[in-house]
Chains A and B, each alone.
Chain A
Amino acid sequence: SSHEHKLNFKKSKEACLSYIQDAMLQKQWKRAAEFLTSYVESLEKDYSREPIGPSEMIWRIGTEILCHHSDSSMKEFNCFMEQMKTLGVKRYLKVCLEHIYHLLCNGQIDEAYQNLSLAESWRFGEQTAIQDKEMKLIQAYRGLLDYYSWSKQKNILLEHGKCLDGFADLSVEQEMHSCFRKAAVNLKEIIKIPGVWDVFVKCYVDLLEFYGDHNEACQVLNEYAYNSKFPANPNAHVYLYHFLKRQGESKKSLVSALKILHDLVPSHELMIDFNTMLQKSKKRKKRRLGLEVIFAALDYAGWKENVKAWSCLARQVKQIVISEKHLDWIKQEWNSRKDWWPAFHFSRYLAKRNWQENKSLSYEKALVAGIFLGKDCKYFKYVSHQGCKAQVKRFRILKKFVNRHNPVYLRISG
């Protein structure tokens, strides 16, 4: 009966699919391709109502196989993609996008641009929300490629500008401006929608800065960093910070930009810059913040062996100990860490390893350990002992310094 036939057909279809999956997961691309030719028959009677129908399956599997198959060529790939585009209306834009990505990955920028233009002009009835998103992405990528050609022409102009001027220059300039307009329109659209748009924002800001529209650029970056609908992307703050720095903005605004980044990501690498900036400040409050920042950064496992950070901390702690002012700052910071920093940073094993791997790291850490944990601390003892044995001068000075300031340790820990 027809029902039974359907059932059998479905069964063999599934079996075929599982063979393909199996071959692909074992990287047997040729075998998978052979099975796929049989699987194409499943298009004949597509009764399925599954979220991913056979035509999508063929597109996905075929693409993957063509990406890895030893005999496949770009031409074949393009041909396959064109066929796939005709298989489903709903999927048209998605297939286009993936095709474009593939072209971009293979450096075929011009073909990608052509495809983008084609896809952009595609219209089919009412668009779904997903198709809308895909269309926006297509436009954004076209804007990106426009930006690339803009920057190419800009470079030509900058190079040629020195030696010759005249008619040829003018046409290049005109073309460059038209590229700018096309890119700006499309890029501006996508970065309004919540998302991670690092590439597009960077390009758009570059365009705006070139044409001197700093207000717009500042607004775009502020929006990207501080709009609560956008994800908390550290890069947004980094871009803003760099922009402000380029604009020669005041220290205050730089500090406030970095302060927000510090609140979001205390372990960001810009925290060293932030710390040095704060340390230079004359205000007590900012120096205090600087200490907090460097302590917070060193809490993270990723900073454990960062010499720069340790030297920042060592320098500041040394200053405070020598001046004997604001010992309470250290005390406060240390209080919340004294139950786990010794095991996390100052164990005997780490002393040994740091000494073996990085002498200057162990120097900085030994200083901090000596002040916080006293001269009997394992880390300090081991490093200073090794340092003196190796007859390195600064370790001897370090030992003297810590011994002299041992009472500080008692005050901090008490």
Chain B
Amino acid sequence: MEFPATLFPSYFGAGPPREEGGPAPAAGWGEHGQVLGGSPAAGDAARRSFGAHPLPSPPLAGDAERCPGARVLVPGGSCPLPTGRWIPSPAPQDILYRNSVCRKFRADRSGATLDFAKQLGHFFVDHPEDAFGSMGRLLHKNFYLGNSKLNRPARSSTIRMTALMKDIDRLEARRGCHRQHLASRLRWFSHLCRDWLFEVPLGLLADCLHEELLLQWSDLLFDDSLTGGALAWLPPGNTGSCMGRLVYPGGQAMNHLFFQDMVLEELPCARGSPVQFELSGRIRQVAAARVDDEDFVGVRSDYHCGVWRVPGRTGTAPAPLQVIRTDVPASCLTVSPHLPGELAVCTRSGTVYLWSVETGLQQLRHDPQTMFFRDHSSWRWSDFTAHPRVLSCADRTGLQCLDARAPKKCHFDLFKVGEEAACQQGERVVLPMYLGRAHPSQYLVTTQFSMYVLDERLPLVPVLKWAHMMKAPPLFAHLMPGDPGRTHKVLLGASRTQELLLLQYRGEKWSSKGGSQSACQLAGAPQKLHSIAGCLQHLPTQLPHHHHLLQQRLGSLAAGLAAALQEDGTCETMLVFQLSEAGDVFCQRLTHEAAHPPTPTSRDEATTAPGSSPLFEAPASSPLVLGTAALRYHRWLRALFRGCREHPQHSLPPSLSQRRLFTRKELEGPTGPTALQKQVRQWLRQVMRERGHIQHWEPLALQAPALPQPPEPEGGPDLLSTRLTTAWSGDWEQWWEDRTSFSVAQRQRALRERRRRQKQVRGRRSLSASFTSSLTYQSELSELSDAGPPLLSPGRPHVLSQEGSPVASSPLRGSPPASPAPEEALLSSQSLRCRGIPKERRKTLRDYLSVWAEAPPEPLELPGSQASQLCIPSSQSQLSSASQTRRKRPRMGF
């Protein structure tokens, strides 16, 4: 363990960071930083590097929630597929107050308005029993839900709730209007009830809710509970074997822990079914370390931490060892790489414990304050160092090392956000990690701007610093130590943006024989790996809704990172596993290629189009890989869509108000083209294709149920204007005389006409009565009256419309259709009652139906089906079917 004989020169200052700045997009490029004298030691010529495999990351294993039987065979092994639903974490729009006025005001300000009232409302709606249960039962008699007026004695002790509901609805509709006038009735009610109506004290509830909302919002901005990642790879026990284990969370609430045996072939394959443990909380972090050929896996959820032992021999089941419960959420769990069954635990109250399975918990530090300067974050982290009794403790301001044997006395500062490490203002520690497998005294510290490698023998001065330029802070890191003479690889992963960055650094490799003694330096340029969402463009085109689903699923937050090295004779590959929040594990392969410094290959530069990702061009050996990957994707997709079909997205709760149900807008016709329009359009298109022209609309049958015209103006200019004209010219009285006599004559004529028609119909009825029900008869009647004078020949309408527009000339046009007997029958309170419609609703239903009866008959289909969706089922569906028969009949050539 030799210390490098010469370090790179650097200035050393103390105090707070001086350099201003924020995220700089190109800060990591173009700098050597320092050189060591005239020797070419600046660290730019990497002799070996990993090249990315131009293959999108195929999904590997997903949440095997419905585990037995839900697996699908993939060539070479079985692979659990995601079949379960996934509950996405809240999005900003769920929490924020959506208001155009507010948005306008606050667009420039960073402050966001939390929609507190909505969440509180959700609570009351979702848990009415908890919120108002007993009070509701007490007041049951005093609330009236009907529509009718209350009579005298009852009125003194009963409130009619429907009016109040109306007011609330009105208020809801006016939401966002900044001149809201509270309905006085509502104000009165809330004054009256505010103090005693709620089961849970309102102030207390509001406080808790507000706190939770703030927490959720800050989690949305940056969720540090995921730090460390919830994916671990347990490498094969003996070097020859290619069977490792993947440990990951799954299930709808991510509370199942899976240990899955994996065979590393060309693509890693799951072997056998995973060993599964159900835990009592969402798994936030899975940490693993190998001691004496046994893996110890630590699992952290908010209030519980557990440790499992996984024996090195394959085929032996992992055994849970111990669980601890914390009062405050834990923020860190790391497993000792030195001693079996030792872990470090931190809680958000600022306590650090050394947890030994044999001896229990030992508190090392308790300090709610941060170490070097004040920071509000309660996040704490702890990890092991080269000395098994010395632990590092971190908060956002830096790292300290403490000796577990005398934690109060023996400690030293390892890293400080400040001038010592040439930090920027506002820089904070995001993830520290012990790099023991590469070098026993080295440490990785990432901040939102840079990554640092520290040597605990030279505290405070980073031996390597690089601005990583990632868009989101790296919450996950994985170390892949290299053999002597090779580089160490560090993978950094971000959660929100799913970024994945591969860095290589060269440091003295420690070995018992002693290694070279060069200072740490970056090797080669860093490399971006594929993100989960990036593979969407490589997948076959999907149906839009599938595409959307897939996009959502692939775009979920990243939740973990792991990597495995696979040495297969001459070929060396690195498999990078990435866990998404939805519980899918994706994998990508990096094949090692020795770089050729004199003639750099341009294989990586094969892409041409701007913005396009690497082409689907595979190296010589991998058509098979591509094939299996595509196949696996295909199966994953199928299972995913099947799973989603089985669990349709839960529809909106049926909480629509009655007023909304009966708005005029909804009763208006369908927005999309009707069958008729479609047909006409098709016809038009066909004519255009044939380059003909339309002289007249031929398929007249289609036109038969045309839109009813507005009542005919009685010839010439309308009544009002003629009347005005005559009034203007002075002989208004004369006009009035004429008019009244005219209208009398006209009415007489109309009456006569009607009688004649009825006679005709009576004559026809004897023909049709044998096979038409009275209902269809009535509807036919109205149909005919719509279409024009009653004509018996089925071919007749065709001829008629060819002649011109006979519809308008029909003397009966403006008269109302024959009395709507069926509706009437429907609306009788008796029939409504026997359909099970409550009393209060009958009137509204009657109103509705009357509106409907007045409305134009054409667009009836949509409101009918809508209404049946909104569960007033039987009567509506019958009505719509009646309307359908009425429209179909004539076309069948009755």
Contact = CB atoms under 8 A, between A and B. Distances in A.
B22 interface: yes
A269 B32 CA distance: 30
A238 B3 contact: yes
Contact of B292 (A28, A202, A347): A347
A104 B604 CA distance: 29
Nearest to A342: B339
Interface string A204-243: 0000000000000000000000000111111100100000
A300 B604 CA distance: 43
Given A105-B40, A340-B389, A57 B25 contact: yes
Contacts of A198: 5-7, 9
Given A198-B6, A300-B386, A358-B512, A230 B12 contact: yes
Nearest to B2: A269
B205 interface: no
A106 interface: yes
A102 B604 CA distance: 25
B525 A64 contact: yes
A340 B359 CA distance: 11
A195 B44 CA distance: 24
Contacts of B24: 50-52
A154 to B, nearest CB: 16
Contacts of A300: 1, 386-387, 440-441
Interface string A295-312: 000011111011100000
Contacts of B607: 28, 31
Interface in B1-46: 1-14, 20-22, 24-27, 29-38, 40-42, 44
Interface residues of B, number: 78
Interface in B794-813: none
B803 to A, nearest CB: 59
Given A19-B610, A35-B610, A68 B40 contact: no
A31 B605 contact: yes
Contacts of B526: 25
A384 interface: no
B7 A233 contact: yes
A30 interface: yes
Interface in A326-359: 336, 339-340, 343-344, 347, 349-350, 358
A180 to B, nearest CB: 17
B661 interface: no
Interface string B508-527: 00101010000000000111
A229 B420 CA distance: 11
A28 B26 contact: no
B773 to A, nearest CB: 68
B513 to A, nearest CB: 10
B614 to A, nearest CB: 7
Interface string B346-370: 0000000000000100000000000
A29 interface: yes
Nearest to A301: B440
A320 interface: no
A21 B527 CA distance: 11
B211 interface: no
Given A303-B1, A358-B512, A29 B605 contact: yes
Nearest to A194: B12
A267 interface: yes
B338 A344 contact: yes
Contact of B26 (A61, A231, A235): A61
Interface string A50-86: 1110001101111110011010000000000000000
B548 interface: no
B25 A104 contact: no
A307 B512 contact: yes
A144 interface: yes
Nearest to B40: A105
B439 to A, nearest CB: 8
Of A68, A70, A196, A232, most buried by chain B (CB within 10 Å of CB) is: A196
Contacts of B604: 26-28
A52 B42 contact: no
A401 interface: no
Contact of A196 (B8, B51, B293, B512): B8
A194 B11 contact: yes
A120 to B, nearest CB: 17
A411 B669 CA distance: 99
Given A199-B36, A300-B1, A340-B339, A60 B440 contact: no
A82 to B, nearest CB: 15
Contacts of B1: 267, 269, 300, 302-303, 306
Chain A interface bracket (under 10, 10 to 19, 20 to 34, 35 or more): 35 or more
Interface in A255-285: 264-265, 267-269
Of A19, A235, A268, most buried by chain B (CB within 10 Å of CB) is: A235
A1 to B, nearest CB: 19
A336 B460 CA distance: 28
Given A25-B526, A101-B32, A195-B12, A60 B26 contact: yes
Nearest to A302: B1
A229 B599 CA distance: 48
Nearest to B34: A101
Contacts of B209: none
Interface string A86-111: 00000000000010011011110100
Given A300-B440, A344-B338, A350 B292 contact: yes
A219 B42 CA distance: 30
Interface in B41-67: 41-42, 44, 51-52
Contacts of B389: 299, 340
B42 A101 contact: yes
Contacts of A233: 7, 458, 461
A395 B604 CA distance: 58
A322 interface: no
B338 A231 contact: no
A200 interface: yes
A101 B469 CA distance: 23
Contacts of A107: 38, 40
Interface in B385-399: 386-389
B257 to A, nearest CB: 26
Interface string B593-610: 000000110101101101
Contacts of A232: 458-460
A22 interface: yes
B27 A60 contact: yes
B436 interface: yes
B388 A301 contact: yes
A133 interface: yes
A302 B386 contact: yes
A60 B30 contact: yes
A382 interface: no
B441 A195 contact: no
B140 interface: no
Interface string A139-158: 01000110010000000000
A364 B132 CA distance: 76
Contacts of A51: 20-22, 24
A267 B22 CA distance: 38
A313 to B, nearest CB: 16
A59 B52 CA distance: 27
A302 B338 CA distance: 11
Contacts of B614: 26
Interface in A1-55: 17-19, 21-22, 24-31, 35, 50-52
A335 to B, nearest CB: 11
11 contacts: A24-B29, A25-B501, A26-B52, A60-B31, A63-B29, A105-B32, A137-B9, A268-B3, A299-B389, A347-B340, A361-B512
Closest 8 CB pairs of A and B: A302-B1, A63-B30, A60-B30, A25-B528, A302-B440, A349-B292, A101-B32, A64-B29
Given A229-B14, A340-B388, 16 more contacts: A22-B611, A25-B525, A29-B605, A51-B22, A62-B30, A104-B35, A194-B12, A231-B12, A231-B459, A265-B3, A267-B386, A301-B337, A302-B1, A302-B386, A302-B510, A358-B512
